[in-house]
Structure 1
Amino acid sequence: MNIKVDIDKLDDKTVVFVAGEIDAFTAPKLREALLPLAEEFKSKLIVNLKNVSYMDSTGLGVFVGLLKIIRKNDGHLNLVELSDRLERLFSITGLNDIIDISSKSEGGVQ
């Protein structure tokens, strides 16, 4: 399965729309798209996961690494529109306590 990453830069935030599966094969592509965004600004990064059908531990690792960089730069990470399955994954791992997760969309329309 492939992954698709679309980026909308708005005034005070960047919204990233991710579609597909995030696994050991696709996580490097996602990391390659997200990390430069985290390093270049000190604002809000919103990642919309509405169209992500699957995520494994490598995907979780991408978001943990992203969060570290964003916090170092005084930015904010918000994951939005997670499926019930993804919400459970973040909850089971305890990452929902350290990453801002919202059920509703924020930012651009797609």
Structure 2
Amino acid sequence: MNQQNKFHLRTETTKGRCTVYVSGEFDLEVAGQMRAAMAPLIELTDRELALNLRDLKYIDSTGIGILVSMLKARHANNAAFIVEAIPPSIRKLFDMTGITPFLTRQA
């Protein structure tokens, strides 16, 4: 995997919002890293949780499954979760799987 496609997370937290910037390739190889990074953030129910996918190059079914599990966990906690800045190629995949409406609305 070249450096441009390497998976990377960067988090910005403010009083009312936690934004996680996801870049590179989100696939089975990095699933554990993503789960570990997101687990404590899922529990922060006092603020909105947003994933910014502007620099995401690729996502596989494992990555989509993790997004859905995050959505379910946030919904169970009655906490806001949105996915923003979805690249067109990724949005097309989300549209095909039918998850776009759930990822782009607030809890």
TM tier relative to shorter chain: 0.7 to 0.9
The 2-side partners of 1:26 and 1:17 are apart by: 15
Residue 32 of structure 2: aligned partner = 28
Give 2:80's aligned amino acid: H
TM-score, length of structure 1 as denominator length: 0.85
Whether 1:93 and 2:104 are equivalent positions in the alignment is no
Mark the runs of 5 or more structure 2 residues left unpaired by the alignment. none
Residue 55 of structure 1: aligned partner = 59
Q: Which has the higher helix share?
A: 2
Aligned CA-pair RMSD:
1.3
Any conservation in 1 of the 2:19–2:51 contact (CA below 8 Å)? yes
Whether 1:65 and 2:78 are equivalent positions in the alignment is no
Secondary structure of 1:25's aligned partner: helix
The 1-side partners of 2:64 and 2:32 are apart by: 12
Count residues in correspondence.
Answer: 101
Any conservation in 2 of the 1:42–1:70 contact (CA below 8 Å)? no
Runs of 4+ residues deviating >2 angstroms = 40-43
How far does the alpha carbon of each residue in 1:42-95 deviate from its partner, in whole angstroms, 9 at most, with x for none? 421011111110001001011011011111111111111111110001100000
TM-score, length of structure 2 as denominator length: 0.87
Secondary structure of 2:55's aligned partner: strand
Residue 15 of structure 1: aligned partner = 19
Mark the runs of 5 or more structure 1 residues left unpaired by the alignment. 102-110
Residue 8 of structure 2: aligned partner = 4
Give 1:73's aligned amino acid: N
